[in-house]
Structures are given as C-alpha cells and as structure tokens.
C-alpha cells in the first residue's frame, strides 16, 4: 500500500497506458489464482451487493430461482423482487445446506442464484453439489456468491456462468471493490435482454465487456485498489493456492475439533459436510456473545457476534488466508479459558 502511494498511483488517469497496464496485471493475476478460463470475463464493481443487482438486471427478464439459507442469500432474493422480477425461493433453515438433488427448479427459470458460502450462518455448499444443478439445467444461467469463501473454493468455471467476491473478506483489503466474473453465455443473454428491457447503465455487461477488452473501466475506478488486489493475488500465487487451501482446512479443523469437544461452544452447522472452513459460526452455551467478544477483544482478537436473531447466542470467526495457524491456536487457547 505504501509502495503504491509512493508511485502516486492514486492520481494516474484511468485512460492512461499506465492504468491499462495495472488493469491487465491484476486481471491476469486474478485469472491465474482462481483458474478462470478465457470464456469468462473479469469486471470491477463497487460491492458484492452491486454484483447481485447487476446480475439480476442483466440476465433476468422475469424468472430466477434463489437458494436461501441466510441473510445474504435472502438479500439477493429481495433484490430480485425490488427490481420487479418474479423470483422463486428454495429455502433451507439457517445453519443448513440444501438437497440439490430434490430441488425442483421451474423450466422457465433464467437464472439460479446460489450463495456458495452463507456468511451469516457459516454454511458452505460443496462445489460438487453445485455442478449437477447446471448439468440438469444447461440453458439456465448459474451465479455464485463467493464473497466470503474466495479464493478457497476450487471452482471449475466451465461448469458455472457467473461468480463474484468483494475484496474485504478473503483478500484482506479495505472494503469498496468487487470482482465479477461473467461468461459469454451471460453476456449473450444481456445483449438479447437489452432489446426488451433496461439492463442498467454504465455497469451493464456489454459496456463492462467493451471496456474490459481495452483494459479499462466505464467509470473512474479505484485505481489504487485494483493495483493492490493485483499485489495480493501475486503474493497468494507465490505462496501457492494449494497451500492456502490446505492451511485453511487445517485451521478450520483445529477450531471445529475444539468446539466439538468444548462444553461452552458448539458448531452451529451440525452437518459436517456443510461446515464452512472460512467463516465459522459457533453457538455459545451458558454465555453471551457480548461476554465472549469482549474477552477476546481484550486479547487483541476480533471475532463477530452472531447474525440477526443469533446476535447474542453465537460468535462468528473468520478463517481467511491472512490468519496464520499460530493466530488460530492462540484464539483457541483464549476460547478455552473464556469461562474464567
């Protein structure tokens, strides 16, 4: 960040060759890190909520289907209603995953929305559950919210159409930027749709694509953030994504194993298959989240309270690439003495 400021990146023109170079470098690093094929394009938006809205505006005339098991998936569904679409909801109780095999998706569905990692409850959907949904509905677009899981899940992008993540979770940056990944199939849909209905203005897919092909953005972007994201991806590539995934698994296992055997904590997600390695939700027994959060804060550890109705009875712990195994062991030790 300091290096970037030294090179006055904050003040370069977004129409300059220098910006184009930064754009090219960052998209290339994101592509390498997440193994995104050339059939998929990389766009910069301002937030994940914007990505939810743009996807709906650009790919849905009327019908979309939403798998809803928490606050973020619910929000995406609500956006579809607010935009005047006719969304269908396939719900699961909070803390649960889905039985995709038994899900009935109407044939007229244009888009299927899946929150791959539901941050509000700590549920992660395995990618191998998601691919068959696309296989069974090959003409329907599938979009994934990977905000709080990326870069952890290994995604075969050939088997999904869109995905998005913002930079303040797994990439450890300050908030304010989102990466949207969109394939040609979704671009074609947006072009077809644009003849019939407004598909949004400067951030519609055809405009985003036209500019991205020139290594530019429609608006004046946050050049500094695009630059920093490129550096973050570079560092992750140097470390190796396989190693990052292994470490994430290892740290998650330490925490879940501890909670399984603790008399004060219990993993909220009962089915191990759906337990998120990146956002871990623990139920408290005979303690309030307020007490736990404050005790940990005094030790310099920041954990979140539960979401919504679980605000007082759960804590949520991020397990992102920036957190070391030592950090996790230290946290577990402090959790062990929390009753004192």
What residues make contact with ligand PLP under the rule CB under 6 A?
A: 47-49, 72, 115, 117, 119, 145, 147-148, 166, 175, 178
Pick between residue 100 and residue 171 the one whose CB is nearest to ligand PLP.
171
How many CA atoms lie within 13 Å of 63's alpha carbon, on the beta-carbon side? Answer: 7
Of 175 and 302, which has the nearer Cβ to ligand PLP?
175
- Minimum Å gap between C-beta 20 and ligand PLP is 25
Q: How far is the CB of 124 from ligand PLP (least distance, A)?
A: 10
Is residue 151 reached through a cis peptide bond, with omega within 30 degrees of 0 on the bond before it? Answer: yes
Of 178 and 193, nearer to ligand PLP (C-beta) is 178
If the CB atoms of residues 71 and 293 are measured against ligand PLP, the closer one turns out to be: 71
CA 161 to CA 293: how far, in whole Å? Answer: 39
Q: How far is the CB of 119 from ligand PLP (least distance, A)?
A: 3
Please report which helix (H) or strand (E) contains residue 136, including its range.
Answer: helix 127-136
Least Å from the CB of residue 10 to ligand PLP: 21
Pairing of strands 40-45, 178-183: antiparallel
Shortest Å distance, C-beta 189 to ligand PLP: 22
Helix axes 241-260, 325-336, angle to 10 degrees: 10
Closer of 49 and 237 to ligand PLP (Cβ): 49
CA distance 158 to 40: 9
Distance CA 140, CA 160 (A): 10
Side-chain half-sphere exposure of 242, counting CA atoms within 13 A = 0
The C-alpha atoms of residue 199 and residue 190 are separated, in whole angstroms, by: 7
Spatial CA neighbour of 283 closest among 306, 252, 254: 306
For the CB of residue 178, give the shortest distance to ligand PLP in the complex, in Å: 6
The nearest distance, CB 221 to ligand PLP, in angstroms, is: 15
Residue 119 or 248: the one with the smaller Cβ distance to ligand PLP is 119
Q: Are 107 and 139 in contact (CB under 8 A)?
A: no
> Least distance from C-beta 38 to ligand PLP, angstroms?
26
Identify which of residues 117 and 289 has a Cβ nearer to ligand PLP in the complex. Answer: 117
Instruction: Look up residue 171 and give its two tokens.
Output: 């990439």
CA distance 124 to 121: 9
What residues are paired with 123 via a beta bridge? 118, 275
Q: How far apart are CA 179 and CA 163, in angstroms?
A: 8
The least CB distance from residue 299 to ligand PLP, in Å, is 25
Of the pair 164, 258, the CB lying nearest ligand PLP is at 164
For 166-187, letters b (16+ CB in 10 Å) and e give bbbbbbbbeeebbbbbbbebbb
């Amino acid at each position: 960040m300091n290096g970037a400021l030294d090179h006055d990146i904050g003040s370069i023109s977004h129409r300059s060759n220098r910006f184009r170079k930064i754009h090219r470098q960052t998209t290339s690093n994101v592509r390498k890190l997440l193994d995104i094929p050339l059939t998929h394009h990389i766009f910069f938006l301002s937030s994940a909520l914007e990505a939810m809205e743009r996807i709906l505006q650009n790919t849905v005339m009327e019908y979309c289907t939403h798998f809803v098991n928490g606050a973020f998936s619910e929000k995406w569904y609500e956006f579809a209603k607010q935009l005047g679409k006719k969304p269908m909801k396939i719900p699961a109780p909070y803390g649960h995953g889905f039985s995709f095999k038994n899900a009935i998706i109407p044939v007229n569905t244009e888009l299927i929305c899946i929150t791959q990692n539901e941050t509000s409850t700590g549920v992660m959907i395995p990618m191998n559950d998601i691919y068959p949904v696309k296989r069974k509905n090959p003409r329907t677009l599938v979009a994934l919210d990977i905000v709080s899981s990326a870069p952890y899940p290994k995604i075969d992008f050939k088997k999904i159409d869109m995905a998005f993540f913002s930079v303040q979770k797994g990439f450890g940056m300050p908030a304010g930027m989102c990466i949207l990944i969109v394939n040609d199939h979704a671009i074609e849909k947006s072009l077809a749709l644009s003849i019939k209905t407004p598909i949004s203005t400067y951030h519609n897919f055809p405009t985003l694509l036209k500019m991205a092909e020139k290594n530019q953005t429609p608006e004046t972007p946050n050049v500094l953030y695009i630059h920093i994201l490129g550096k973050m991806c570079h560092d992750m590539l140097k470390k190796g994504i396989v190693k990052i995934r292994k470490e994430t698994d290892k740290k998650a296992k330490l925490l879940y194993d501890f909670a399984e055997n603790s008399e004060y904590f219990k993993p909220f997600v009962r089915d191990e298959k759906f337990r998120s390695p990146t956002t871990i939700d623990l139920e408290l027994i005979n303690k309030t989240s307020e007490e736990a959060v404050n005790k940990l804060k005094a030790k310099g550890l920041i954990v979140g309270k539960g979401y919504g109705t679980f605000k007082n009875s759960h804590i949520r712990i991020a397990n992102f690439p920036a957190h070391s195994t030592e950090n996790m062991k230290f946290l577990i030790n402090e959790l062990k003495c929390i009753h004192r």
